Amino acid sequence: MTAIDLPASTATADVEKPQKLAPRRYYLFALPALVLIAGVIIFPWVFTLVMSLMEFKVGGSVEFVGSANFAKLFADARFGESVLRTFWFTILAVVLPIVIGTWAAVVFHREFPWRGVLRTVFIMPMMATPVAVALVWTMMFHPQLGVLNYLLSVIGLPPFAWVYDPSTVIITLVLVEVWHWTPLVMLIVLGGMAALPSDPYDSATIDGATDWQMFRFITLPLILPYIMVAVVIRTIDALKVFDTIFVITQGGPGTASETLNIFLYLQAFQFYNLGYASAVVVVFFVIIIALSLLLLYVRQKLKWNA
């Protein structure tokens, strides 16, 4: 008797039998990853959330205070100033690299002599670690021995205070961030431009369009998804900047460059107020998540999907 002669119920049972009898041990393969995630990510966050509800200083007793740390936090003028300072630094550290990086991508997308060498030189700052970058720029910003003020004196300009003036310290730190991470934006946008079709440009050339018109009406709309990816990455990175600021200014002069990360560090490791610092971490986490969701929403709403 062939398989065609078997009753339909028998044939179905033969097909489904291996699936019903197969043991579901594949859950064990995911167990190590789940344990790792729980130990490295979930447990620290739960512990931090619990600590934010405690009054805990190193060497002192631990006392449950509920939301008192958060109430104290939102009433702390220094915390509010650090939040505003963080947003100001982030806006500048995102907009300037996006603009300069996009322009650099357009330039390096063209064919010209020594393009490969110049492109390599342009991305070299991104290869250095933030601490090394900060140490080099700290020496360059020195008011008497720094090379930047020497160059200003050569062209007849007075010395500049750079990070030693509260009114210019944030702008100066942004310049370091722009120098360090503009190459990343350039690489993201340049990768998008490499995939652009050539037909629209051929048609625009025949119609007599200028370079600016081709960029404005062809290139820019096509590379917007890649620019949005760069915006999301740079926003998250700029919000988390700590090492560069701490090495160069330690939050000074005074509190002029004290961003949220520096404020958090001082509360935890200088004042040893771990409960209060944990509340800062929770609020900072909420801010990062909210901004990330907002950027992803804007990207999805405007159909900027790479």
Residue, of 84 and 26, whose pLDDT is higher: 84
Fold assignment, 68-305: MetI-like fold (1.10.3720)
Question: Which pLDDT belongs to residue 24?
Answer: 64
Question: What is the rounded distance in angstroms from the CA atom of residue 88 to the CA atom of residue 94?
Answer: 10
Strand residue runs (E) in 25-168: 54-56, 62-64
Q: How many beta carbons lie within 10 A of that of residue 81, not counting itself?
A: 15
* Confidence bin at 1 (pLDDT 50/70/90): very low
Domain ranges of the chain: 14-51, 68-305
The whole-model pTM stands at 0.85
Q: Give me the mean pLDDT over the 42-64 stretch.
A: 86
Show the CA angle centred on residue 169, arms to residues 168 and 175, nearest 5°.
90
Question: Which pLDDT belongs to residue 294?
Answer: 87
Question: What single-letter amino acid sits at 5?
Answer: D
Find out whether 218 and 204 touch, Cβ atoms under 8 Å: yes
- The alpha carbon dihedral of 20, 25, 29, 32 has a sign of positive
Question: What is the rounded distance in angstroms from the CA atom of residue 67 to the CA atom of residue 301?
Answer: 36
Give the bridge partners for 62, in sequence order.
Answer: 56
pLDDT in tens, 194-227: 888 888 888 988 988 888 999 999 999 999 989 9
Give the bridge partners for 273, in sequence order.
Answer: 57
